[in-house]
Amino acid sequence: MADSTSTPLTVFCKLCLSHNAERDTSALHACGCVFCTQCLQHYVGLAVREGGGALITCPDLACQGAEGLSDSEVACYVSEGQAELYQRLKFEKEVQLDPSRAWCPVIDCQAVCSVVPGVEGTPTPLPCQACHAIFCCGCSQPWQDEHVCSSSQPLTQASSEDRCSADTPIKQCPMCGVFIERNQGCAQMLCKNCKHTFCWYCLQNLDGDIFLRHYDRGPCRDKLGHSRASVVWNRMQVVAVLVGVSITMMVTFPFLLLASPCILCCIFKPCHGKNRKKKKTKRSPKSAPADD
């Protein structure tokens, strides 16, 4: 007699590496890849918070689909507030990459203005239709008589002291040009768009400055925004991590050195053929037929 109860279908999720019931999974519209719904919710939510409005693609790296998730599909996996945040970040990124549009630099306005290119790409005054402010379309500074655009000038003309004394709450990332707002806190900035680390005051590259020595000297000295004790504590933590990694390498290196012949033997298997030859030689020869 056949069993009336049937086993429910399960789908393997590449994100959590587990099998899930088919009712607990969801398929992406663009590529058709199937994941468990809970994993997609976590993935899309993280992409909204950390992506800066970038296109959210399939989480499977082996997927050949080039299209990303639509706005309606993103809204299915995140809350209403996160969906609105994604729409805003996406619009801001589109304006930033569009040379025919620019943001009004007035903080209370932040309207989108249409840019009229000047002769041979020279900066021109750009009036805002919302707040009627006039600013430079190149450097977003207020337009004045005999205005000189700072974006068209080499960086060597502006001294580091002048840049450190600037107290503007909004600046552009020196690597990708994304607008970043800083109200208070640490002067070591991390761009969420390109992951570039730089100093807020002088825009110097801090990608390799793990000990924050930049704020020990020069015009940005003691301008990190943290107490001296917290800076020392941060450096002690970095040193502890480096020492821990070094000790681990020193301890494991002798064992790896001793085990290297066995590892090489397992990889190349030089004795595999010899074992076969030995087995063949050990076989007893066939007995010859007896004479009549």
Amino acid (one-letter) located at 194: C
From residue 129, alpha-carbon distances to 97, 133, 137 in Å are 21, 8, 14
Catalytic annotation, pick one of 16, 131, 176, 186: 186
Q: Give the H/E segment covering residue 258.
A: helix 228-268
* Coil vs helix vs strand at 197: strand
From residue 178, alpha-carbon distances to 27, 49, 99, 191 in Å are 33, 16, 13, 8
Can 271 be counted among the known catalytic residues? no
What is the spatial distance between Cα 67 and Cα 55, in angstroms, rounded to a whole number? 9
Length of the chain: 292
From residue 245, alpha-carbon distances to 130, 234, 239, 280 in Å are 56, 17, 10, 50
DSSP-assigned letters across all residues of 12-38: EETTTTEEEEGGGEEE-TTT--EEEHH
Q: Give the H/E segment covering residue 11.
A: strand 10-13
What is the spatial distance between Cα 14 and Cα 36, in angstroms, rounded to a whole number? 9
List 126's β-bridge partners, or say none. Answer: 135
Active site residues: 186
